[in-house]
A and B are shown apart, each in its own frame.
Chain A
Amino acid sequence: MAVASQDNAVQTGRAARVFVYLVLLLFALFYLLPLYVMGVNSVKPLEEITGGRMMSLPETFTLAPWASAWSTAQIGVEPTGLRPYFINSLLMVVPAVAISTVIGALNGYVLTKWRFRGDTIIFALMLFGCFIPFQIVLIPMALVLGKLGLAGSVPGLVLVHVVYGIGFTTLYYRNYYAAFPTELVRAAMIDGAGFFQIFWRIMLPVSGPITVVSVIWQFTNIWNDFLFGASFGGTSQPMTVALNNLVQSSTGVKEYNVHFAGAILAALPTLIVYVVAGRYFVRGLMAGSVKG
């Protein structure tokens, strides 16, 4: 008998199974190769890389490239390392993810449980917002940020990402709440709970899976965004822009080991979010998609 988690899988022969695992292993190695290259080269002295031994393990192990990337490397004209930009990114991503997720949840709640005339049109317009390419809105966005006095600041970037994220987060929560029994909301109304009490005490406690989806999605997109950061970052540019400035600098020696370390540093937060919350990710996507 198959174990519970496999009982809807097709039974296959032993040979076929070995073949499948071999192929999977091969692909896994293939996709892990870049990470390997980045990892080993970030802990080598530069001479080992330029000497043509890019694929081999380090002969002399050193963390100096990491220290350099973090705090002393030349970013643009300042030798600050990536640290200040990492902090900029954090200051941008945390409020942007939190605000867009909360607003998305509220929107989903209203669009499914407090329906009003024209709600489907509003939802359709929000969905439409998901498909507008970033480049199109750059100039109007710059105009608005200028008028609001938020140009070139972290709050400005937070606003940009919240506006862009609401379409997605609303979509997630709307579909999730559509499957949530409306009678519970009615029961809560009779029990004396108001609009926000129902949201806070009834809806949010059962929104775990979809919140994980929303947070991962928003965090990854906002952290990895380059275009908005480069356009509206001003003096408080995020990590992605700084990494570009580090790697693309056209003067002096190319410190590949420092570049590799910097690139890993830039990718680390999203990696951590995936590892910590990832197991809920697929489950959450399914939870929202079954009914709607």
Chain B
Amino acid sequence: MAEVEIRALRKSYGSVAVVHGVDVDIADGQFVVLVGPSGCGKSTLLRMIAGLEGITGGTIRIGGRVVNNLPPAERDIAMVFQNYALYPHKTVAANMGFPLRMKGMAKPEIEARVAKAAAILGLEPYLARYPRELSGGQRQRVAMGRAIVRDPQVFLFDEPLSNLDAKLRVQMRSEIRELHQRLGTTTVYVTHDQIEAMTMADRIVVMRDGHIAQVGAPLEVYDRPANVFVAGFIGSPAMNLLPATVAGGGEVEVGGTRLAAPEVAGLAPGTAVTYGVRPEHLDLADTGLAARVAVVEPTGSETHLVLHMEGRDLVAVLRDRLAIRPGDTVRLAPRAGLHHVFDATSGVRIG
């Protein structure tokens, strides 16, 4: 086990820079999720930690040791790939034992360690099978087995659940999380799925265009997004982000409606801001934002409303089953203190 320290890390392909000076500290035993839309540089960052991708600038330390120029095998890491990357001509046991064989370990010890890992992952009945004879979830488990037999300092996961169906994904999510709690190995996990990030991480690193947009605990990122990008990316359905102006007296004006926002008290009236409120923080009320219902989506446990408000879409999530139909006009009030205000030009959080 070890901590990972990334300092001013940069990556360019020729003249195209894809990672611009990233700093991340990962404490020993922590489960960190790198999340962001595709092309944000998260997979590149992971591959640089793994040593599969050269480093243009900056340093990576694993367990206090600079690994910039070490080949992957000497970094004491293990990686799980999106498409499993199992060796098709080897059995499950041979797949899991391969890294140990490469280390020149004695056969009895390889067998013992493979058996131990197989027991942890429930793979004992499949050890003699070939990857093509396994289901997607079993293959993913073998890939994890191949990673844990080595007992590495750091686990790296590159979108490991993207190829699985929705139900299996939820199951594997908690399995990976449980495995981490059991082994306590430092883990870096890449995903584009913000639900995976929220549910699995000790700490989330939200990335955008090769920069870090925010680092924090999942609920911290959810409750206090540092900027408009994070606000819109984390949470589902996504946060409503509405153009607003400072009205004075600790209020903002959104589409003709004045809403309380104490954090703007210091700003000059008329300043343009972005007002954000999560769909689950909107309640039906007599006052508040007036909007026309466009679509009603009952999910069973809650009701999603898609509304139009002066040419903008607004989404609300209500816990109750209501007799609302498309075409109705309703008023929605943000819950006190659960809104967000961002600078209209820079997108940075205010307050």
Complex alpha-carbon distance, A187 and B102, angstroms: 12
Contact B73 A191 (CB under 8 A): yes
Q: Mark A203-226, 1 if CB is under 8 A from B, else 0.
A: 001100000000000000000000
Partner pick for A184 among B77, B85, B99, CB 8 A cutoff: B85
Kindly state whether residue B146 has any CB partner on chain A within 8 Å: yes
Contact B87 A190 (CB under 8 A): no
Kindly state whether residue B167 has any CB partner on chain A within 8 Å: no
Contact B89 A192 (CB under 8 A): no
Contact B72 A206 (CB under 8 A): no
CB-CB under 8 A from B86, the residues of chain A are: 184
Contact A192 B73 (CB under 8 A): yes
Within 8 A of A (CB), among B79-94: 79, 81-83, 85-89
Within 8 A of A (CB), among B37-91: 50-52, 71-73, 77-79, 81-83, 85-89
Query: Given A181-B85, A184-B87, A206-B88, is A192 in contact with B99 using a C-beta cutoff of 8 Å?
Result: yes
Complex alpha-carbon distance, A190 and B81, angstroms: 11
Complex alpha-carbon distance, A187 and B80, angstroms: 8
Q: Smallest Cβ distance from A155 to chain B, in angstroms?
A: 35
Q: Smallest Cβ distance from A120 to chain B, in angstroms?
A: 16
CB-CB under 8 A from B126, the residues of chain A are: none
Complex alpha-carbon distance, A184 and B73, angstroms: 14
Kindly state whether residue A50 has any CB partner on chain B within 8 Å: no
Complex alpha-carbon distance, A186 and B99, angstroms: 12
Complex alpha-carbon distance, A205 and B21, angstroms: 42
CB-CB under 8 A from A78, the residues of chain B are: none
Query: Given A189-B52, A191-B102, is A183 in contact with B81 using a C-beta cutoff of 8 Å?
Result: yes
Contact A202 B81 (CB under 8 A): no
Complex alpha-carbon distance, A201 and B89, angstroms: 9
Complex alpha-carbon distance, A186 and B82, angstroms: 12
Contact A186 B85 (CB under 8 A): yes
Q: Mark A87-127, 1 if CB is under 8 A from B, else 0.
A: 00000000000000000000000000000000000000000
Contact A189 B85 (CB under 8 A): no
CB-CB under 8 A from A189, the residues of chain B are: 51-52, 71-73
Query: Given A181-B83, A183-B83, A197-B102, is A190 in contact with B89 using a C-beta cutoff of 8 Å?
Result: no
Kindly state whether residue A193 has any CB partner on chain B within 8 Å: yes
Contact B99 A191 (CB under 8 A): yes
Kindly state whether residue B222 has any CB partner on chain A within 8 Å: no
Partner pick for B72 among A184, A190, A197, CB 8 A cutoff: A190
Query: Given A181-B83, A205-B89, is A191 in contact with B98 using a C-beta cutoff of 8 Å?
Result: yes
Kindly state whether residue B103 has any CB partner on chain A within 8 Å: yes
Complex alpha-carbon distance, A205 and B82, angstroms: 23
Q: Smallest Cβ distance from A134 to chain B, in angstroms?
A: 38
Contact B89 A193 (CB under 8 A): no
CB-CB under 8 A from B98, the residues of chain A are: 188, 191, 193, 201
Q: How large is the interface on A (under 10, 10 to 19, 20 to 34, 35 or more residues)?
A: 10 to 19
Instruction: Classify the interface of chain A: helix, strand, loop or mixed.
Output: helix
Complex alpha-carbon distance, A187 and B51, angstroms: 11
Tally of B interface residues using CB under 8 Å: 23
Partner pick for A186 among B77, B81, B103, CB 8 A cutoff: B81
Q: Which residue of B is nearest A190, CB measured?
A: B72
Q: Mark B167-194, 1 if CB is under 8 A from A, else 0.
A: 0000000000000000000000000000
CB-CB under 8 A from B87, the residues of chain A are: 184, 187-188, 202
Q: Which residue of A is nearest B71, CB measured?
A: A189
Partner pick for A190 among B50, B82, B103, CB 8 A cutoff: B50
CB-CB under 8 A from A192, the residues of chain B are: 73, 99, 102-103
Q: Smallest Cβ distance from A195 to chain B, in angstroms?
A: 11
CB-CB under 8 A from B81, the residues of chain A are: 183, 186-187
Q: Which residue of A is nearest B98, CB measured?
A: A191
CB-CB under 8 A from B72, the residues of chain A are: 186, 189-190
CB-CB under 8 A from B88, the residues of chain A are: 206
Complex alpha-carbon distance, A189 and B50, angstroms: 10
Interface centre among A189, A190, A206 (most CB of B within 10 A): A190
Complex alpha-carbon distance, A140 and B87, angstroms: 45
Q: Smallest Cβ distance from B266 to chain A, in angstroms?
A: 52
CB-CB under 8 A from A184, the residues of chain B are: 85-87
Q: Which residue of B is nearest A183, CB measured?
A: B85
Contact A190 B77 (CB under 8 A): yes
Q: Mark B149-177, 1 if CB is under 8 A from A, else 0.
A: 01000000000000000000000000000
CB-CB under 8 A from A201, the residues of chain B are: 98
Within 8 A of B (CB), among A166-201: 181, 183-184, 186-193, 197, 201
Complex alpha-carbon distance, A190 and B89, angstroms: 18
CB-CB under 8 A from B71, the residues of chain A are: 189
CB-CB under 8 A from A181, the residues of chain B are: 83, 85
Contact A187 B103 (CB under 8 A): no
Complex alpha-carbon distance, A190 and B72, angstroms: 5
Within 8 A of B (CB), among A218-261: none
CB-CB under 8 A from B103, the residues of chain A are: 192
CB-CB under 8 A from A205, the residues of chain B are: 89
Q: Contacts A190-B51, A190-B78, A197-B102 known; list 13 others, CB within 8 Å.
A: A184-B85, A186-B50, A186-B72, A186-B79, A187-B81, A187-B146, A189-B51, A189-B71, A189-B73, A190-B52, A190-B73, A192-B102, A202-B87
9 contacts between A and B (CB under 8 A): A181-B85, A183-B81, A184-B86, A187-B87, A188-B87, A189-B72, A190-B51, A191-B99, A193-B73
Which B residues are closer than 8 A to A by beta carbons? 50-52, 71-73, 77-79, 81-83, 85-89, 98-99, 102-103, 146, 150
Which A residues are closer than 8 A to B by beta carbons? 181, 183-184, 186-193, 197, 201-202, 205-206
